[in-house]
Structure 1
Amino acid sequence: MAADRVGPFWRAAGLLALAALVAGCSDELPREEVHLQVEKAPDYMMPDAGPDRGPAGLSEAAQSTMARLQQIIESNSLRRLTAFAEAQPGFVSNFAGASHSDHWDLLRRTGFDPILRLEELLAGPYGTKSVAGETWYVWPDLAALEPEALTPERLNFSQRARLEELVGETGIAQIREGRGYPGIRTAIAEDGRWLYYVHEVSGEE
């Protein structure tokens, strides 16, 4: 009877020892390393580093003008916007010869709110361009590009998408004809002058 009890015990012990031996051997097996070579994504697929805001951002004078415009926007006063524009040397709001007041009032009555659209512009990215040795800060950033650099083929993926959103197919067709940025745009000079706020196409830039 004792022998019958011992037999199963040793068989179980042997199985446990064998399992431990197999487990130990599996730990020592060499592991395969797999190396994948991934090609760099093309530039147009890479995220943007951000808009060109110039070496040191807005000048102090331009920041002051921005702050003044923000105050006018908060007041939602077309009269104050007109008065500020009239105080800017050479400011351009349209190319039809209309006064700033008449032009903006007409736009507002046709559903284009000059103050709301200005707020949207200034909340977005700006670019810089040099004009006669002076730095201009231009909104949106794409409007700072020269016509030849603005064609969709010269832009990255996200820029092309933004351009289409801003100016539509009609605007892109105008760009392909060699014209400048055809959408709403505004600019402030580094000395703080508010230069223009237009939505028409012209060679003013």
Structure 2
Amino acid sequence: MEAHRLTVMRLLLVGALAACLAACGEDRARENVRLQVEQAPDYMLPAERAATGPIVLSGPAMETIAQLDSIIERNSLRRLVQFAEAQSGFVSNFAGASHDDHWDLLRRTGFDPLLRLDDLLDGPYGVKAVAGETWYVWPELAALEPEALTPERLNFSQRARLEELVGEAGIAQIREGRGYPGIRTAISEDGRWLYYVHEIAGEE
């Protein structure tokens, strides 16, 4: 009788051990399950970096930035005007006003051209080719063509950046096919300061 009980107990222990091993095996199997999902759409993907890395500013462009930084540090709007006037074809506005009158008016209405230029040059820039020249454009999204600026063509981080820069009103203008409507500036590869504007051509 005692031998029979021992046999039954052994069978129960073996059964319990087998059940435990099976359960552990199932847990491991669950851990190894891999779900297959569709690739995220482009606008959800992080911004891609060029395989060669960011394009480095040319020497002449860096010299121009150094000159602008010096003017900004002096907080001299007069020197900024003089520097702009020395640049061939420089544009500060599309209303036909002189650089002096335009920037002075902006400063009196609460827009400080020097501080805003400082903010721009401290941020990221984009690169575009214009008539065989390389232009460095601040901010980076202002280097995109209008059709490439629509939110649907941008990835998630770029869309957030665009909204931060121009707001919903600016995005509405972009959807109408207009160019980047925010504050922007550009320097050519040979060091010419090309423009510093926040208007769209044709507007007053």
Provide the TM-score with structure 2 as the length reference. Answer: 0.79
Aligned ranges for residues 129-144 of structure 1 at < 5 Å?
129-144=128-143
Determine the structure 2 residue equivalent to 1:7.
none
- 1:172 is the counterpart of 2:171: yes
Q: Which has the larger radius of gyration?
A: 1
- 1:127 is the counterpart of 2:126: yes
1:150, CA displacement in angstroms? 0.9
Letter of the 1:126 partner, please give it. Y
Letter of the 2:201 partner, please give it. S
Q: Deviations over 1:109-160 (max 9, x none)?
A: 0000001111111111111111100010111111111111111111111211
Aligned ranges for residues 1-205 of structure 1 at < 5 Å?
29=21, 31-32=25-26, 33-34=29-30, 35-39=33-37, 40-49=39-48, 56-202=55-201
Q: Deviations over 1:144-186 (max 9, x none)?
A: 1111111111111121122122112221221112111111100
Provide the TM-score with structure 1 as the length reference. Answer: 0.79
Instruction: Give the paired residue count.
Output: 184
Structure 1 unpaired stretches of 5+: 1-17
1:53, CA displacement in angstroms? 9.9
Letter of the 1:116 partner, please give it. L
Pair 1:123–1:52, CA change in 2 (3 A): farther
What is the aligned-residue RMSD (CA, Å)?
Answer: 2.7
SS in 2 for 1:196: strand
Distance in structure 2 (CA, Å) of the matches to 1:54 and 1:94: 33
Letter of the 1:36 partner, please give it. R
Counterpart contact for 1:61–1:192, Cα < 8 Å = yes
